[in-house]
């Protein structure tokens, strides 16, 4: 459970609505049980249930542990379609991605940028679900780039200067490197893949194309596979 409001531990907190339902129905928790809790961008710890009614739960909270370290990665991702975006946001938060650049590309539908799933509160909700899953508290930083060319010409070269820069693209490219110690910038394409022009632009910006082999993975599968190999 993550607290995203002002909160100073140790403290007694009363939860209702979604969090109460989550504790009661998913965790099937009872009075006296202890749950993992954390403060957004802060410490993690434990919450002991001191009272549980039909509408609310009271926790005695102690926060005393650092969250897991984030992965030193800038993930560049061509904006997925709304349903996939939700799952992808959860996955990147669960896996500890530090920064996410959502970019436009040729095979991203323009209408995807208008989707309600991109509203700030909806994005935050998915990220929180992802963080809770990993007992993490560090919110990934998200940047939005609605035009490919300025991103590729101005921002991508800067990212490539400060990290090892890779673009995942099916084809006869070197395999994805494993167990990296250095910061990585990784670009993942849309469902239809990057077009040749975009790969050329990434290469001009200092990115190296890499492959995951013959099998073409869906975006939501490619991301965890790439991250698990890289780190």
Pattern 75-114, binding to ligand SAM, x per CB under 6 A?
A: ----------------------------------------
Q: Cα Rg for the chain, rounded, in angstroms?
A: 20
Pattern 163-182, binding to ligand SAM, x per CB under 6 A?
A: -----xxx------------
Site residue total, ligand SAM (CB under 6 A) = 18
What is the C-alpha to C-alpha distance for residues 84 and 199, in angstroms, rounded to an integer?
23
Pattern 122-161, binding to ligand SAM, x per CB under 6 A?
A: ----------------------------------------
Whole-number Cα distances in Å, 102 to 83, 138, 147, 175: 15, 19, 10, 24
- Binder of ligand SAM out of 163, 189, 207, 227 (CB under 6 A): 189
What is the C-alpha to C-alpha distance for residues 44 and 40, in angstroms, rounded to an integer?
9
Cα 197-158-174 angle, rounded to 5 deg: 55
**Which residue's CB is nearer to ligand SAM, number 47 or number 80?**
80
**Which residue's CB is nearer to ligand SAM, number 32 or number 171?**
171
**Which residue's CB is nearer to ligand SAM, number 30 or number 216?**
216
From the CB of 102, what's the least distance to ligand SAM, in Å?
Answer: 14
From the CB of 160, what's the least distance to ligand SAM, in Å?
Answer: 16
Question: How distant is the alpha carbon of residue 190 from its chain centre?
Answer: 16
DSSP secondary structure string, 45-112? Answer: EEEEEEEE-SS-EEEEEEEEEPPPPPEEEEEEEE---HHHHHHHHHHHHHHTEEEEEEE--TTS-GGG
- Binder of ligand SAM out of 38, 96, 130, 193 (CB under 6 A): 193
**3-state DSSP assignment of residue 143:** strand
Chain contacts with ligand SAM (rule: CB under 6 A): 168-170, 188-189, 191-194, 211-213, 215-219, 222
């Amino acid at each position: 459970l993550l607290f995203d409001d002002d909160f100073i531990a140790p403290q007694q907190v009363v939860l209702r609505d979604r969090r109460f339902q989550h504790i009661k129905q998913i965790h099937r928790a009872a009075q006296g049980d202890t749950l993992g809790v954390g403060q957004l961008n802060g410490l993690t710890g434990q919450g002991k249930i001191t009272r549980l009614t039909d509408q609310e739960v009271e926790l005695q909270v102690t926060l005393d542990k650092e969250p897991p370290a984030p992965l030193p990665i800038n993930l560049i991702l061509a904006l997925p379609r709304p349903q996939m975006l939700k799952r992808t946001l959860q996955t990147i938060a669960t896996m500890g991605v530090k920064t996410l650049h959502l970019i436009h590309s040729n095979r991203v539908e323009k209408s995807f940028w208008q989707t309600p799933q991109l509203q700030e509160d909806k994005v935050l909700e998915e990220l929180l679900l992802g963080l809770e899953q990993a007992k993490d508290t560090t919110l990934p930083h998200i940047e939005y780039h609605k035009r490919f060319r300025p991103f590729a010409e101005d921002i991508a070269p800067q990212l490539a200067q400060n990290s090892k820069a890779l673009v995942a693209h099916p084809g006869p490219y070197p395999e994805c490197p494993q167990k990296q110690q250095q910061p990585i910038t990784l670009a993942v394409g849309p469902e239809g893949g990057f077009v040749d022009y975009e790969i050329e632009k990434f290469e001009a910006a200092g990115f190296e194309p890499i492959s995951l082999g013959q099998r073409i993975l869906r975006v939501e599968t490619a991301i965890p596979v790439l991250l698990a190999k890289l780190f």
